[in-house]
Amino acid sequence: MKRLVERMEAFSDDHLPQLTPLNIHQILDRVRALAANGVADGLVLREKYDPSLPPVLGDEDQLIQIFLNLVKNAAEAAHARGDGRGEIAIHTAYRHGVRVRAASGQALRGAPLEVRIQDNGPGVPEHLRESLFQPFVSSKPSGAGLGLALVAKLVAGHGGLIDFESEPGRTVFRVLLPIASAEGASE
């Protein structure tokens, strides 16, 4: 109950993240190490990083929280296969021309840095896909349904976007974030 209350309080915390230039690969390596020694134990973890990526504009603790939650969910899905052949892949890429727009249509800033977390689990149930990032939506019997809602809030606080695609045997969560260049941080 205490953890649930603490996680709910995170939704009412409206302070802006402290955005600084960060190496996304160092953050992902830390997340990968934490997962490999915990929730992803026994799974194959693969990464394919674009070594030419510029720094991301982000809050280190929040980025770790975002990607650790996504990797944790991927690990749970991969373990659900039950055949010992679960895999998680972490990919980074630069997406030229990607821009984030406010609901009003106003261009905010470039968000060309992409991080994908992929698993080979059973996929997101069809009936949850439209509301997956809403609070209290979970496919897990004992899930509180706050993890992805918090991830979406933190990604939006970074000026980024999150989406996913899913089918049995392949689910990919994609996070687009702004880079820390003068061009990517303005507009």
The single-letter code of the amino acid at 32 is: R
> What CATH number does residue 35 fall under?
3.30.565.10
Domain tally, the chain = 1
% of the chain beyond a pLDDT of 70: 75
Report the C-alpha gap between 114 and 56 in whole angstroms. Answer: 10
> Is pLDDT above 70 for 153?
yes
**Helix pair 60-79, 147-157: axis angle to 10 deg:** 150
Selected residue with higher pLDDT from 38 and 131? 38
The residue segments making up the domain with residue 128 are 2-185
pLDDT confidence of residue 99: 61
The single-letter code of the amino acid at 180 is: A
C-beta separation of 58 from 179 below 8 A: no
Q: How many CB atoms lie within 10 A of CB 50?
A: 13
Q: How many CB atoms lie within 10 A of CB 183?
A: 12
Dihedrals phi, psi of 94, to nearest 5 degrees: -110, 125
Matching residue, tokens 């706050």: 146
Residues in the chain: 187
Report the C-alpha gap between 111 and 95 in whole angstroms. Answer: 8
37-41, 46-50, 146-150, 151-155: which has the minimum mean pLDDT?
A: 146-150
Give whole-number Cα distances, 30 to 20, 43, 156, in Å: 18, 17, 22
Selected residue with higher pLDDT from 118 and 138? 118
Write down the pTM of the prediction. Answer: 0.83
What does the block give as tokens for 170? 């392949």
